Amino acid sequence: MAERGASGGGSGGDSLDKSITLPPDEIFRNLENAKRFAIDIGGSLTKLAYYSTVQHKVAKVRSFDHPGKDVEQDHEPPYEISVQEEITARLHFIKFENTYMEACLDFIRDHLVNTETKVIQATGGGAYKFKDLIEEKLRLKVDKEDVMTCLIKGCNFVLKNIPHEAFMYQKDSDPEFRFQTNHPNIFPYLLVNIGSGVSIVKVETEDRFEWIGGSSIGGGTFWGLGALLTKTKKFDELLQLASRGRHANVDMLVQDIYGGAHQTLGLSGNLIASSFGKSATADREFSKEDMAKSLLHMISNDIGQLACLYAKLHGLDRVYFGGFFIRGHPVTMRTITYSINFFSKGEVQALFLRHEGYLGAIGAFLKGAEQDNPNQYSWGENYAASSGLMSTSPELCPTQRARSGTFDLLEMDRLERPLVNLPLLLDPSSYVPDTVDLTDDALARQYWLTCFEEALDGVVKRAVASQPESMDAVERAEKFRQKYWGKLQTLRHQPFAYGTLTVRSLLDTREHCLNEFNFPDPYSKVKQKENGLALKCFQSVTRSLDSLGWEERQLALVKGLLAGNVFDWGAKAVSDVLESDPQFGFEEAKRKLQERPWLVDSYTKWLQRLKGPPHKCALIFADNSGIDIILGVFPFVRELLFRGTEVILACNSGPALNDVTYSESLIVAERIAAMDPIICTALREDRLLLVQTGSSSPCLDLSLCTSRTTTCMVLPFAMWVLWTKLKSLVEKCLSPLSILLACSVLSAKSRLDKGLAVLVRERGADLVVIEGMGRAIHTNYHALLRCESLKLAVVKNAWLAERLGGQLFSVIFKYEVPTK
C-alpha cells in the first residue's frame, strides 16, 4: 500500500481537523460502536485496527396471508416491503504518520462511547515507545504482541480473504500490475519483510512458521545512506528522487567494463557490474536523483538475490514481499522482481501485496480476538470505504495523491459463514470468473467506465424513488453519486486500485456505495410490481406450453428463458424500453430475440441430450425478478421436475439491481405452488430446493473469497410456509421478546443449515444452468465444470454484442459437456 507525504505539516498537538484533508469522522468511522482495538507502530507509520458494529438499512419482504384467494384476481401486490435496521460487523484499518499520533488518540478518546475493550493489542517497535501515551490517552492497557507472529497472521488473513491481494509487478508490461487469483491452498510460501532491516520467514501452515534468515541492509539502510548522500530526510522524498534518477550515471555497467565484448559472455550490457562504481573515478558531482536511484537499485537487488537464494534452498517458488520499504513504489518492485527473475532463472515468483502495510495491525487484532474465533467467518473488502492501492509514481494522478492526504483506509465486512469452492469446478486453482480483464483491455475499460458514468443519473433517480417517504433520500442519493463518481475517476487513473478491474467489480463497487448511504434495494418496488404482474400470467403460460408437442415445447421453454432474461433493468437498452413502454411484456420480448441460428447456438446438442435419460439434479442460478424468474425459469424448472430431475434453485442472498433475491423467491414459489401441482409436490417432497447463494452481486463467482456466492441456507418449503403462518400468529399474540424467542427455537430445530457446496455433493448435481449477462457472459463464460453446463443469456448491450460478433439482443446458448 502506498504512503503519501503530509499535505501540510503539523505536530502531534495540532488539531486533527486542521492537519488532514479528510474530515476525521470519515477516517475513524463507527468509533461509537468500537469493540476491540489493535495497533502496529513502526518507525514512521502507525496502523490502527478496530472492530465495530455497523447499523444499516435492509429491505425485507413478507408474504401477505390471503388463504384461498385466486392469484389471478388478486390486485394487491404479492408481498409487502419494509425497510428495517440490521447490525453487521466490520473491521476498520487506518494508516497514518506517527506525527499525527497524539491528535488521533485524542480524537479516538473523545468519540469512544461504549467500548467493551479494556486492552489494546500492540505490535511493532513503537509499541514500547508510545505505550505510556496510548494508555494515558485511551485509558486502555497496552498488551504487546510478537511482531513476527502478527505479520504472519496478517499475511495469511489477507491472502485468504481479499481477492486479488497478491500481484506481480512488470514495469514494461501493460498493465504493470498482474493480480493473482486466490489459490485454495496458500501454503507454503516465503515472506520477506523489509523494514529497517530484512527478515525472511518460511510459512508452512496457519500456525507453523520459521525465521530462516535476514539482513541488516534494508529500508533503514536506504533511508540512512540516502539522507547522507542527498541531505533528504523524508523517506517518500527519497523515493521520489529515485523515480526521477538515472542510475547508469553513477553505477558501473557490464558494458562499461567489457564494451561490445559483453555479448560474447552472454551478458546484457545494462547489467550493474558495480553499484556506485563510477563515483570513484569521476571528477564531476552526481545529482541527488541519480544517487538515490543507484542506492535503491543496490539495496533492492541485494534483497532480491538474498530472497531468491533462501527460496531455492527451501524449495519454495512463491515469495511475498512486505514492509514499509515497498510502499507500492514502482522502481522498488521492478528491481526486486528483476533480481528474483535473474537469479532464479524465472523459477521463483516475486509477489507483492495490496495491503502489505496492514499485516502487523491485522495480525495483532486477530491475536486479541482469538476467543471470538474470527477465522470461522469470511471477510470481504468494502470498496466504498477503502482507499485502494495507490501508486507513488509521480506521473500517476498527482491530484488524487494530494487530495487523499496522509491517511489510508481499509474496511472489511464480516460474512456470517465461511466460503468454499463450488465442488463442480473442474480446477478451482485455475478458475477465473471474469471474462474480460479491464485492467488489461484499455478499450473495454474506457467503454465500461463511461457506461457506468452515464448510468449514474438513472441509478440516483431509482434510489430516490425507492424511498418516497424518506425526508433525506435526495441528499443521501447525491452523496452516493459523489462517492461512486469519485471511485470511477480513481479507476480511470489507477485501474489496479482494487485488484483486477472487471465489470463485476464495477457493479459490486456500486452496490457497496448504495449500501453505504442506506439504499439497500433501489429496485424493490419495481420487482414487487413485476412479480405481481408475472404471477397473473403463469398459468396461461404453462397451459400454452402443455398444449405443445414434446420437441416444440423444449424450444418454447428455452425461448421463454431467453425472453425472460431480456427484463434486466441494469441494461440501458432494456431500461429505456421498459420506462417508455409500460406495456412491453413477455411476448414482445420473444419478438426481440435473435432468430436461430443464434450467436452461440448449442440448442441442437441440448435437445439431443434431452432425448436421453434425465439428469439426476440440476443446479440453476437465477437472474432477474418478475417475468424472468416466474415465466422463464419456473416453467423450465417444472419441465425438469416432470422429467424426474431434482432442482436446486439458487438466488442472491441480497439485492442487486432487479435480480431476484432468496426471500423473494420463497414468496414467488409459494404463490406458484398454489397454482401448479408439479411445483407444489416437488416443494413438499424436497425435490425442488430453494437456496441462497450468499451473493449480493449481479455477477457470479464460483470460487473462494470473491462475490460471496457459494454459501447458502436451505429451508424446506413446507417448513417455511409453517414458519410464516406461525410468525403471523405469534406477532398477534406475543410480545417482541417472545417473538424473538420463538424465532430462535424454530430456527434452531427446523433449518437445514447446509452450504450450497454440501448440498450439491449430497444431491449429486450433474447439470449447472447459469442464466443472464452478468452470470453467464461477464463471468463464467469460459468456466470449466465437472458436469454438464448450460450458459444462456441475451446480449443487451450493443457494444458488447458487436465485440462478440453479433447485434443487440443476440442470443448466447452454450451447452457444454466435460471431456471424459
Q: Is 275 annotated as a binding residue?
A: no
- Phi, psi for 207 (deg, rounded to 5): -120, 0
Percentage above 90 pLDDT, the chain: 59
Contact 771, 621 (CB under 8 A): yes
Greater model confidence, 47 or 370: 47
CB 501, CB 495: distance < 8 Å: yes
Which amino acid, one-letter code, is at 225?
Answer: L
Bond into 433 cis (ω within 30):
no
Q: Is 236 annotated as a binding residue?
A: no
* Domain ranges (residues) in the chain: 25-65+74-165+360-416, 167-250+286-353, 420-708+754-819, 710-744
Element (H, E) at 102: helix 101-111
Q: What share of the chain is helix, strand, coil (3-state, %, to 5)?
A: 45, 20, 35
The CATH fold assigned to 25-65+74-165+360-416 is Nucleotidyltransferase; domain 5 (3.30.420)
769 vs 754, residue with greater confidence: 769
DSSP 155: H
Pick from 326, 288, 286, 279: which is nearest to 307 by CA? Answer: 326
Give the Å distances, CA to CA, from 572 to 183, 457, 566: 36, 12, 11
**Would you place residue 733 in the very low, low, confident or very high pLDDT band (cuts 50, 70, 90)?**
very low
Work out the pLDDT band at 394, boundaries 50, 70, 90. very low
User: Would you say how long the chain is, in residues?
Assistant: 820
Residue 229's alpha-carbon distances to 288, 432, 467, 499, 524, in angstroms, are 7, 47, 62, 36, 64
Give the global pTM: 0.86
Residue 761 neighbours by CB under 8 Å, 6+ apart: 423
E strand or H helix at 764, and its extent? none
Q: Return the higher-pLDDT residue of 85 and 605.
A: 605
Query: What does the pLDDT look like over 558-574, one tens digit per residue?
Result: 999 999 999 998 888 88
Q: Do the domains 25-65+74-165+360-416 and 420-708+754-819 sit in the same CATH topology, yes or no?
A: no
Q: Which grid coordinates are listed for 143?
A: 498488551
Q: Is 735 a residue whose pLDDT tops 50?
A: no
Q: What is the pLDDT of residues 162-213, one digit of tens each?
A: 888 999 998 877 778 899 887 768 999 999 999 889 999 999 999 899 999 9
- Residue 87 bridge partners (DSSP): 55
Q: Is 601 annotated as a binding-site member? A: no
Q: Phi/psi at 350 (nearest 5 deg)?
A: -95, 120
Q: Which residues are within 8 A (CB) of 224 and not within 5 positions of it... i.e. 6 or more apart?
A: none
Tell whether the model's pLDDT for residue 754 goes beyond 80.
Answer: no
Torsions phi, psi for 758 (to 5 deg): -65, -45
Q: Which homologous superfamily is 167-250+286-353 in?
A: ATPase, nucleotide binding domain (3.30.420.40)
Is 19 annotated in some ligand binding site? no
**Dist. CA 3–CA 95, nearest whole Å:** 9
Peptide bond into 736 cis (omega under 30): no
Nearest-angstrom CA–CA distance, 783 and 778: 11
Q: Among candidates 510, 528, 511, which has minimal Cα distance to 520? A: 511
What sections of 645-735 are H helices per DSSP?
A: 662-673, 677-684, 717-733
SS3 (DSSP) at 504:
helix
Indicate the range of 64-78, 292-306, 346-360, 429-443 predicted with least confidence: 64-78
| Average pLDDT of the chain to the nearest whole number | 85
Out of 267-271, 341-345, 445-449, give the one with best mean pLDDT. 445-449
Q: What local confidence, expressed as pLDDT, does residue 364 receive?
A: 93
CA–CA separation, 543 and 750 (whole Å): 35
Residues 6 or more apart whose CB falls under 8 angstroms from that of 606 comprise 558, 790, 813, 815
pLDDT for 15 beyond 70: no
- CATH of the domain spanning 420-708+754-819, picked from 3.40.50.10880, 3.30.930.10, 1.10.10.10, 3.30.70.20: 3.40.50.10880
> CA 97 to CA 27: how far, in whole Å?
14
CB 295 within 8 A of CB 242: yes
C-alpha cell at 537: 400470467
Nearest residue to 336 via CA among 293, 378, 306: 306
What mean pLDDT is predicted for residues 119-148?
Answer: 91
> 736: pLDDT confidence band, cut at 50, 70 and 90?
very low
659 is in an annotated binding site: yes
Give the model's confidence band at 17: pLDDT under 50 very low, under 70 low, under 90 confident, else very high: low
- 416 vs 636, higher pLDDT: 636
pLDDT tens string 759-796:
999 999 999 999 999 999 999 999 999 999 999 999 99
Q: What are phi and psi of 750, to 5 degrees?
A: -115, -15
CA atoms of 369 and 380, how far apart (whole Å): 18
